[in-house]
Amino acid sequence: MSKRVLTTESGAPVADNQNSASAGVGGPLLLQDQHLLEKLARFNRERIPERVVHARGSGAYGYFEVTDDVTGFTHADFLSAVGRRTGVFLRFSTVADSLGGADAVRDPRGFAVKFYTEEGNYDLVGNNTPVFFIKDPLKFPDFIHSQKRDPFTGRQEPDNVWDFWAHSPEATHQVTWLMGDRGIPASYRHMNGYGSHTYQWTNAEGEAFFVKYHFKTNQGVRSLSAEQAAELAGKDPASHQTDLLQAIERGVNPSWTLYVQIMPAAEAADYRFNPFDLTKVWPHRDFPLQRVGRLVLDRNPDNVFAEVEQAAFSPNNFVPGIGPSPDKMLQGRLFAYADAHRYRLGVNHTQLAVNAPRATTAQNYGRDGLMAANPQGRHARNYEPNSYDGPVETGRPLSAPLAVTGHTGTHEAPLHTKDDDFSQAGELYRLMSEEERRRLVANIAGGLSQVSRDDVIEKNLAHFHAADPEYGRRVAEAVRALRED
């Protein structure tokens, strides 16, 4: 059986892939060696800008299967019948570290799901925590700068991390999550995923509901201690990638059960705290979990760069029956995520295989730009309306309209009766066992004791005191002990 012929990118056969063309034996190389120049030029361009956040990631394909009837709350087609299956791609990631960082670090994890539905792709972009550090997107660049490498030292600085948190009391709840036992998942398979934001569902009658998504791991939650994580990160920096890849290759397909919390839209205005605040959770006693379906991962990507690094998720990719809420952080991300991918991958990134619709076909008037591969043909027009049988609008909104009132301006969110930054952090602390509290305090003190400024330490301690007096006292004592050593 003859072997396939190696060619250049233009399809010409390559005569020699081991030796460059030179001016005589041992002479200088020749500019006319097209194969050498093409090979080196492509090599120089193999890397694209990494994501500013969520740079280090892993992913897999699978499916979502509906197990419970939710048609009373949404008319989304892919959720319309028990037993219905929809293809998915799920990307996991760390948030703050770079593409070359280790997996086993104390950091939130991204949990981004792309549903390839028959009404277009639906992207649900969340984390492995139900809350986040901030509630307004205007603060997001500053927050990420404080967590990334310092411009001078080139490393993450405790002074920067804790100084930002000192000036952002709303971060106390998420800090308590991050520094607790679930701060370092043992693997991507052994952690929950959350939509984190509040979203809107609309049923066939036009009734609107606000929802929160919870993906509960069916493998059980498992986490690492700081000591275990440090050892694992040194042995295998790609530990989470290794685990996910090998599990699926063995046929041990990880799965999650999707639940939602559902709030009738009319209840939002008078709820005791702002239900659109990303630093808050909805108590389950008020809004119990309702099961929706099961998400299963059963196929690894064939090429990590093409299918994981180039996977592009945007929370503004909705489908009929699902839409946004007034969640400020979500509203900011509706723009920021899509724009990040236009920068990294180009305006035509939606035509890449991992990002393109699979159960339907994209039909629009977008043309040209870098890497355009539009197959519309010579008679397709690039404007609308037209007289040439081009695609037309439906006139049917994807979701119910959001009510707005008042004057434009830079407003703080309206106050509800229990809109404070510390109650839920205290409740989370009091839910923990004594051993969990001990580890939480040790993790916080380990980082906070490295801060050089006393005023920054005191501001952070005040947040923990406000959450729970015992919580604050124990952190203060632990920080003092470490600084006196």
Distances (CA, A) of 254 to 58, 78, 245, 296: 14, 21, 11, 6
Centroid of chain to Cα 381 = 36
Active site residue 316: no
User: Of 121, 127, 128, 192, which residue is the catalytic one?
Assistant: 127
Alpha carbons 198 and 324: distance in angstroms, whole number: 8
How is residue 149 annotated by DSSP? B
**CB contact burial 96-123 (16+ within 10 A = b; e otherwise):** bbeeeebbbbbbbbbbbbbbbbebbbbb
Give the max Cα distance, the chain: 85
User: Of 54, 197, 341, 463, which residue is the catalytic one?
Assistant: 54
Alpha carbons 437 and 111: distance in angstroms, whole number: 26
Q: Where are the beta strands (DSSP E) in 186-243?
A: 193-194, 199-202, 208-217
Strands 208-217 and 199-202, sheet pairing: antiparallel
One-letter amino acid for residue 192 of the chain: N
Contact between 471 and 465 (Cβ < 8 Å): yes
If you count DSSP H runs as helices and E runs as strands, how many of each does the chain have, helices first? Answer: 12, 10
How is residue 290 annotated by DSSP? E
283 preceded by a cis bond (ω within 30 of 0): no
Q: Where are the beta strands (DSSP E) in 71-218?
A: 85-94, 109-117, 120-127, 193-194, 199-202, 208-217
On the 0-12 / 13-18 / 19+ scale of CB atoms within 10 A, 363 is exposed
Contacts of residue 73, Cβ cutoff 8 Å, sequence gap at least 6: 201, 203, 209, 211, 260, 262
Active site residue 75: no
Handedness of CA 422, 423, 428, 431 (dihedral sign): positive
On the 0-12 / 13-18 / 19+ scale of CB atoms within 10 A, 314 is buried
Q: Where are the beta strands (DSSP E) in 37-136?
A: 57-66, 85-94, 109-117, 120-127
Between the CA atoms of 370, 375, 379 and 384, what dihedral angle is there, to the nearest 10 degrees? -60
Contact between 224 and 105 (Cβ < 8 Å): no
Centroid of chain to Cα 228 = 25
Active site residues: 54, 127
